[in-house]
Structure 1
Amino acid sequence: MSRNGLYALVAVLAVAVVAFAIYTYQQQQSQPGIEVRIDEQGVSIDGNG
């Protein structure tokens, strides 16, 4: 395999890793969840689902 081919393969793999990381992050952000806070004003419960 030539050096240019190797560089192209590394670039394609790097792009795939970045794309997968972005996809995973977006999937985690869209999942419903519940946030419970306890502070001076009392207890508050926020849900995004």
Structure 2
Amino acid sequence: MSFLIKRQEFSMSRNGLYAVLAILLVAVVGFAIYTYQEKQKPALEVRIDGGGVQINGNGG
């Protein structure tokens, strides 16, 4: 009977491990999407209007 109790505790800890792995996977994918979007921003922006010429760089 004690074998069944130990097996159940192991199963619960495995579910917790899967939950932690899922959270880490979501965090990594989110960070990858954020990084990709940041790299897609133009490195140099030139604006010409009535006030003159304005040049902005984002440091990329």
**TM-score strictly above 0.5:** yes
Show the counterpart of 2:26.
17
Root-mean-square deviation (CA), in Å?
2.8
In the alignment, residue 44 of structure 1 is paired with which amino acid?
A: Q
Matched residues, percent identical?
29
Instruction: Give structure 1 regions of 4+ aligned residues with deviation exceeding 6 angstroms.
Output: none
Normalised to the residue count of structure 2, the TM-score between the two structures is 0.55
Larger Rg: 2
Structure having the larger proportion of residues in helix: 2
Normalised to the residue count of structure 1, the TM-score between the two structures is 0.65
In the alignment, residue 25 of structure 1 is paired with which amino acid?
A: Y
* Structure 1: gaps spanning 5 or more residues: none
